[in-house]
């Protein structure tokens, strides 16, 4: 009986310690998944599908000098978006391209990740008026970090959500 009690106490203590350590490893200022990026072969067809069939709201579309869409954010909920970008033959094969995480301080997050040995690019301004950086995860998964300031198009879409 005593052995069983020590065993159970050990399990409880082990669970508490492992949970505490796992939470202590969490990156400061991480606000969760902001978007999923998808490369699409037919931009107009995909826009129609996500807005008309799925009921997502077009938050914003960024176009090039010729008026061609470079990317669009479609709002699935107040803080969650689907990003559409045209696929191409060179380096954008159709399908999921990345997922985006919203962070409070992109420079601090980059520094913390680099200290952990993670490959991450320097922050740069995006066409959607946010700061972004890319993390290289195993198996070629790309994670986009986004710091969304007050002028970012995603922040404006979030604030206008009804």
- Quick one: what percent of the chain has pLDDT higher than 90? 77
CATH of the domain at 142: 3.10.180.10
Residue 22 counted as domain residue: no
Determine the structural domain holding residue 83 and report its residue range: 29-159
Residue 129's pLDDT band, with cuts at 50, 70 and 90, is very high
Residue 146 counted as domain residue: yes
Q: What is the per-residue pLDDT across 74-85, written as a single tens digit (0 to 9) for each?
A: 999 999 999 999
Residue 12 counted as domain residue: no
| pLDDT, mean of residues 116-143 | 96
Q: What is the per-residue pLDDT across 97-110, written as a single tens digit (0 to 9) for each?
A: 999 999 999 999 99
Residue 19 counted as domain residue: no
C-alpha distances in angstroms, 95 versus 39, 52, 62, 108, 155?
5, 20, 20, 31, 25
Task: Give the model's pLDDT for residue 74.
Answer: 97
Residue 136 counted as domain residue: yes
Number of domains in the chain: 1
């Amino acid at each position: 009986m005593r052995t069983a009690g020590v065993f159970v106490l050990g399990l409880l203590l082990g669970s508490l310690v492992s949970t505490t350590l796992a939470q202590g490893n969490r990156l400061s200022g991480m606000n969760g998944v902001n978007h999923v990026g998808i490369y699409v072969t037919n931009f107009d067809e995909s826009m129609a599908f996500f807005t008309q069939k799925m009921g997502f709201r077009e938050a914003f579309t960024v176009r090039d000098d010729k008026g061609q869409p470079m990317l669009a954010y479609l709002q699935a909920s107040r803080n969650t978006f689907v990003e559409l970008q045209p696929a191409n033959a060179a380096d954008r094969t159709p399908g999921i391209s990345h997922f985006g995480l919203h962070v409070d301080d992109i420079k601090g997050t980059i520094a913390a990740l680099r200290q952990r040995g993670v490959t991450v690019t320097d922050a740069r301004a995006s066409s959607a008026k946010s700061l972004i950086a890319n993390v290289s995860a195993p198996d070629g998964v790309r994670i986009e970090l986004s710091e969304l300031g007050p002028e970012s198009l995603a922040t404006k879409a979030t604030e206008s959500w009804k």
